[in-house]
Amino acid sequence: MILGIDKSIFRRLLFSYMLTILLGLCAVGILMSFLTKDYIVETQTQELLRKAKRVNLTIQNVREMNDSVKDLLVFLDQSFDTRIWVFDRSGQIVATSSKDEVYVGKSVDASVAQRMIKGEEAVLNLQFEGMKDTMLSVVVPWGKEKDVYGGIVLHAPVVGMNQTIAHLRETILWVTLFGIVMSVAIASLLSWSISRPLRQIEKVATRIGLGDYSERIDVKAKDEIGELAGTINRMVEQLEKIDREKRKLEQIRIDFLGNVSHELRTPLTAMQGFLEALQDGLIVDQARPKYYDIIYKETLHMSRLVDDIMDLVKLENNAIELERRPVEIEPLLKQCMYRFTPEAAEKGTALALEVHPATPLVFADPDRLQQIVNNLVKNALKFTDHGTIRLAAAPKENGISIVVSDTGTGISPEDQELIWERFFKADRGRSKTKGTGLGLAIVRELVSLHEGKITVASEVGKGTAFEVWLPQAS
Ligand SMILES: Nc1ncnc2c1ncn2[C@@H]1O[C@H](COP(=O)(O)OP(=O)(O)OP(=O)(O)O)[C@@H](O)[C@H]1O
Ligand SMILES: [Mg+2]
């Protein structure tokens, strides 16, 4: 296809160049041959007139033609290389410079004779048979200024005119040939300079068609083709970005499915094993309650996992509607404390609550706010042994800040960026901490649904503090 563009551009350029050069040179050639012809005729006419006047000077005192005058005419004919005729006032030719006197006794045109009597000069077009060259004839009065006896005709072939014009035509032919060669060269260069970027554009466009966005067009020209290349490059960049995002989303979806299946598979496998053992009577009666308890806990874990997944999916699809209203934060935090007190006592961890007296009402959905705080406290408890967990609330920038801090394991700086991802767990290998890694992903979605912000500050071995900022009720 590109060969087609290439060829047609090449042909069109070549054709137009050649046509321009040919037309231009033809015009110049025709003009030049006319001008040259005129110039040559003009200079030779002047020369002939000058000679004619000299002939007149020689014979202006002679009224009658005699042999000596005729000899003089022959001499002048030879020295000037022109034919000379002399005619009288009536126009009758009385003498010629040629030996054969065919014209003697004949007459020149009466009007020419009349003009001579008036003292004028004339240039005539006289045709002679059997002569190749164009003949040029001039007539001047014969005699003195007031005393004209007749006229003197001088005629001579126009020398050099044909050769000069032929020479000119030859030159023009060569120049034309040179012009055509040049035009082929220029057209090739131009067509190459146009077709090269076009070929590149075509190459990249083909790749885009195949879904490969890695290539760019390397065209530096500032012309329309350069602009086109720039536009295509920008388009490819855009497509590449969209493609990258699409792949990322696809990867997230695949990861999510993989994670969900894995998280469901693990408790299911355990339950299957225990149930089979119970069925086969491999477990003694006294030990049975322990196994039922394990199975029960696994089902609890599974249903929590399914709830979390459903929550997350709804949050990401914007399918959760908040029922926001002014909420007092202190009772909410207190309730959370009571709920986790037994668990904390088991781990030897103290719970503390600090609410600033000026803390305003927060504009939130109370159930969802409880979910946020519960998740954070649950995490703090999970990662803190024999430490302290503080729950604090205070006014901050047109809203309130809720801080859940602990003196637990802490989170490494690299992990601090990843904890928000679904299914991320820092200690994935260890079974010590139960959990699926969905808690913080849900918390982040819920906070952003409240138009709030959540940040984490943590130091490994020292503890972690999550701060949630939410807008106050106006
Ligand atoms: N207070 C904390 N102290 C130390 N590490 C924490 C704390 N909170 C969260 N993390 C780290 O962040 C990870 C993600 O937390 P997230 O709440 O999302 O998942 P999870 O608690 O492991 O599981 P789930 O909440 O779904 O039961 C945790 O696995 C843990 O590594
Ligand atoms: Mg959690």
Measured in Å, residue 376 CA sits from the centre of ligand 1 at 8
Measured in Å, residue 435 CA sits from the centre of ligand 2 at 6
As for ligand 1, residues whose beta carbon falls within 6 Å of it are 308, 379-380, 382-383, 406, 408-409, 411, 419, 424-427, 435-441, 464
Fold that domain 224-313 belongs to in CATH = Helix Hairpins (1.10.287)
Q: Name the residue among 258, 158, 198, 238 with its Cα closest to residue 6.
A: 198
Atom index in ligand 1 nearest the CA of residue 425 equals: 29
Measured between alpha carbons, how far is residue 177 from residues 17, 187, 249 in Å? Answer: 12, 15, 66
User: What's the 3-state SS for 290-353?
Assistant: HHHHHHHHHHHHHHHHHHHHHHHHHHHCCCCCCCCEEECHHHHHHHHHHHHHHHHHHHCCEEEE
Single-letter amino acid code for the residue at 11: R
Fold that domain 321-471 belongs to in CATH = Heat Shock Protein 90 (3.30.565)
Question: Which residue CA neighbors atom 27 of ligand 1 most closely?
Answer: 435
Position 70 scores a pLDDT of 84
Parallel/antiparallel/unpaired status of strands 148-157 and 388-396: unpaired
Measured in Å, residue 374 CA sits from the centre of ligand 1 at 12
Measured in Å, residue 439 CA sits from the centre of ligand 1 at 7
Give DSSP secondary structure letters for 14-35.
HHHHHHHHHHHHHHHHHHHHHH
Give DSSP secondary structure letters for 72-96.
HHHHHHHHHTSEEEEEETTSBEEEE
Q: Which ligand is nearest to the CA of 422?
A: 1
Atom index in ligand 1 nearest the CA of residue 463 equals: 3
**Tens-of-pLDDT digits for all 474 residues of the chain?**
444 555 677 778 778 888 888 898 888 888 887 888 788 888 888 998 999 999 898 888 887 888 888 888 888 888 888 889 888 888 888 888 876 656 777 777 788 888 888 888 887 765 544 455 667 888 889 888 778 888 898 888 777 777 877 887 788 889 888 988 888 888 888 888 888 888 888 888 899 889 888 888 888 888 888 899 899 999 999 999 999 999 998 998 898 889 889 888 988 999 999 999 999 988 888 889 999 999 999 999 899 999 999 999 899 888 999 999 999 999 999 999 999 999 999 999 999 999 999 999 999 999 999 999 999 999 999 999 999 999 999 999 999 999 999 999 999 999 999 999 888 888 766 555 577 889 999 999 999 999 999 999 999 999 999 999 999 998
Q: How many residues does the chain have?
A: 474
DSSP designation for 286 = G
Measured in Å, residue 415 CA sits from the centre of ligand 1 at 10
Fold that domain 2-162 belongs to in CATH = Beta-Lactamase (3.30.450)
Give DSSP secondary structure letters for 387-401.
SEEEEEEEEETTEEE
Question: Which residue CA neighbors atom 2 of ligand 1 most closely?
Answer: 380
Measured in Å, residue 71 CA sits from the centre of ligand 2 at 140
Measured in Å, residue 367 CA sits from the centre of ligand 2 at 17
- The structural domains of the chain, with segments of one domain joined by +, span 2-162, 224-313, 321-471
Single-letter amino acid code for the residue at 5: I
Tokens for 267? Answer: 């408790």
* Substitution site in 262, 378, 440 for ligand 1 pocket (most atoms within 8 Å of beta carbon): 440
Measured in Å, residue 346 CA sits from the centre of ligand 2 at 18
For residue range 41-81, what is the model confidence (pLDDT) as tens digits?
888 889 989 999 998 988 888 878 888 888 888 888 888 88
Q: Which ligand is nearest to the CA of 435?
A: 1
Q: Identical fold at 2-162 and 224-313?
A: no
DSSP designation for 142 = E
Single-letter amino acid code for the residue at 317: N
DSSP designation for 471 = E
Helix (H) and strand (E) counts in the chain: 10, 12
The rounded distance, in Å, linking the Cα atoms of 455 and 444 is 9
Helix axes 439-449, 366-382, angle to 10 degrees: 150
The residue whose two tokens read 């001039």 is 138
Question: Which residue CA neighbors atom 29 of ligand 1 most closely?
Answer: 425
Q: Name the residue among 432, 444, 419, 337 with its Cα closest to residue 383.
A: 432
Atom index in ligand 1 nearest the CA of residue 384 equals: 3
Tokens for 263? Answer: 């998280």
Q: Which ligand is nearest to the CA of 454?
A: 1
Q: Name the residue among 393, 385, 380, 401 with its Cα closest to residue 353.
A: 393
∠ CA 242-247-248, nearest 5°, is 95
Question: Which residue CA neighbors atom 31 of ligand 1 most closely?
Answer: 426
